[in-house]
């Protein structure tokens, strides 16, 4: 028999997780026109996974996002950030000088560069937040639904 | 002339809504401070906040007209309209499960509430 004790929370969470992820992407990619950016978007993205984990349990969340994937993603974000800087060095410009990506129009190059760097920041922040949640959430045995 | 009248009607309606919403939120805040126990405080906080939020956002939407701001305000209203009652439900559910019960000695009436521990 299915326990319906948390039915309202589960239905509302299913409604909201998609909206939270969409809002995280909005904050991520609209960050150079309005308040926002990689850090805020990463935290919002992590909040979507954390609220899913709080309501549906850690096991279900780790089916979607296994811990080893999260660890790789947190490293990949730093790689994207520093890779952008090294790439501009390879093009003969200073480290993280985004003008290198479009020498004819430096402002276009800056646009590309800031998007890449913010993508790396957002990826790392989201992955590290989820890792911290996994670290705390996995420490104790889960409360079974019968205990409520 | 007609446009002036229209502007004034919109202005007065929006300020009426904003003041009405503020009144709801104020009443909710007083209820939070003055009510005797957890359940009545939760009631004061949740119900009046939802009403006040809707009135305030309707008033702000009238101020901003048919713009992107109104669109965003509608989304905020939807979000808060869903999440507010849900969080109230979660808090009340946790309190009920952990054993908190409403006072049943109000106005000298004994046993005003059914025994929730008893199996039906």
Residues in CB range of A110: below 8 A, 6 or more apart: A98, A99
* Other Cβ atoms within 10 Å of A141 Cβ, number: 6
Evaluate if residue B14 carries a pLDDT over 70. Answer: yes
Decide if pLDDT at B104 tops 90.
no
Tell me which residues of chain B, numbers 35 to 94, contact chain A at a CB-CB cutoff of 8 Å. 79, 82-83, 86, 89-90, 93
* Enclosing H/E stretch for B75: helix B68-97
Domain coverage including residue B29: 2-101
Inter-chain touch B89–A8, beta carbons under 8 Å: yes
Interface probe for B, chosen from A4, A7, A12, A15 (most Cβ of B below 10 Å), is: A12
Residue A131 lies in a domain: yes
Share above pLDDT 90 across residues of chain B, in percent, rounded to a whole number: 65
pLDDT tens string A80-91? 999 999 999 998
pLDDT score at A4: 79
Residue B82 has pLDDT above 50, yes or no: yes
Q: Does A83 map to a domain?
A: yes
Share of chain A above pLDDT 90, in %: 53
Nearest to A47 by CA among A78, A75, A24: A24
Are A121 and A36 contacting, i.e. CB atoms less than 8 angstroms apart? no
Residue A33, chain B, CB below 8 Å: the answer is no
Interchain proximity A16–B90, CB inside 8 Å: no
Confidence of residue A1 (pLDDT cuts 50, 70, 90): very low
A99 in a structural domain: yes
Domain count, chain B: 1
Determine, yes or no, domain membership for A56. yes
User: pLDDT averaged over chain A?
Assistant: 88
Predicted pLDDT at B109: 60
Chain A residues with beta carbon closer than 8 angstroms to that of B96:
none
The pLDDT-based confidence of A42 (bands split at 50, 70, 90) is: very high
Is the minimum CB–CB distance between A11 and chain B shorter than 8 Å? no
- Using the Cβ of B97 and the Cβ atoms of chain A, whether some distance falls under 8 Å is answered with yes
Give chain A's domain count: 1
* Tens digits of residue pLDDT in A88-142: 999 888 888 888 888 888 888 888 888 899 999 999 999 999 999 998 887 766 6
What count of other Cβ atoms lies within 10 Å of the Cβ of residue B44? 19
Higher-confidence residue: A37 or B70?
A: B70
**Inside any domain, residue A1:** no
Q: Which domain holds residue A57?
A: 7-147
B33 in a structural domain: yes
Inter-CA distances, B101 with A113, B95, B118, Å: 58, 8, 13
- Indicate whether B118 pLDDT > 60: no
| Number of C-beta neighbours around residue B82 at 10 A | 15
- Give yes or no for A68 touching B (CB within 8 A): no
Does residue A2 lie in a domain region?
A: no
Q: Tell me whether residue B115 is in a domain.
A: no
- For testing contact with chain A, the best of B79, B80, B87, B95 (most A CBs within 10 A): B79
Residues of B in contact with A16 (CB under 8 A): 79, 82-83
Q: Write out chain B residues lying below 8 Å of A12, CB-based.
A: 82-83, 86
Q: Does A138 touch chain B (CB under 8 A)?
A: no
Residue A26 lies in a domain: yes
Range A9-18 average pLDDT:
92
Q: Domain for residue B36, yes or no?
A: yes
Q: Rounded to the nearest 5°, which phi and psi values hold at A103?
A: -60, -30
Interface confidence (ipTM) of the complex: 0.70
**Mean pLDDT of all residues in B40-50:** 91
Lowest mean pLDDT among A85-94, B57-66, B97-106: B97-106
């Amino acid at each position: 028999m299915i326990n319906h004790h948390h039915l309202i929370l589960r239905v509302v969470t299913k409604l909201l997780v998609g909206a939270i992820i969409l809002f995280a992407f909005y904050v991520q990619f609209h960050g150079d026109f309005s308040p926002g950016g990689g850090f805020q978007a990463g935290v919002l993205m992590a909040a979507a996974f954390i609220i899913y984990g709080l309501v549906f349990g850690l096991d279900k969340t780790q089916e979607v996002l296994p811990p080893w994937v999260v660890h790789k993603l947190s490293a990949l974000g730093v790689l994207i950030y520093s890779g952008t800087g090294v790439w501009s060095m390879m093009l003969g410009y200073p480290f993280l000088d985004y003008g290198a990506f479009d020498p004819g129009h430096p402002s276009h190059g800056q646009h590309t560069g800031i998007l890449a760097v913010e993508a790396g920041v957002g990826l790392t922040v989201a992955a590290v937040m989820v890792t911290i949640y996994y670290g705390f959430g996995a420490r104790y045995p889960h409360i079974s639904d019968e205990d409520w | 002339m007609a446009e002036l009248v229209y502007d004034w009607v919109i202005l007065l309606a929006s300020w009426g809504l904003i003041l009405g919403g503020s009144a709801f939120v104020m009443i909710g805040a007083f209820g939070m401070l003055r009510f005797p126990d957890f359940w009545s405080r939760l009631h004061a906080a949740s119900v009046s906040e939802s009403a006040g939020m809707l009135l305030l956002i309707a008033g702000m939407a009238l101020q901003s007209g048919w713009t992107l701001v109104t669109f965003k305000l509608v989304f905020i209203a939807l979000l808060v309209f869903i999440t507010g009652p849900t969080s109230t439900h979660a808090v009340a559910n946790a309190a009920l499960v952990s054993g908190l019960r409403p006072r049943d000695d109000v106005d000298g009436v004994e046993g005003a509430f059914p025994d929730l521990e008893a199996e039906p």
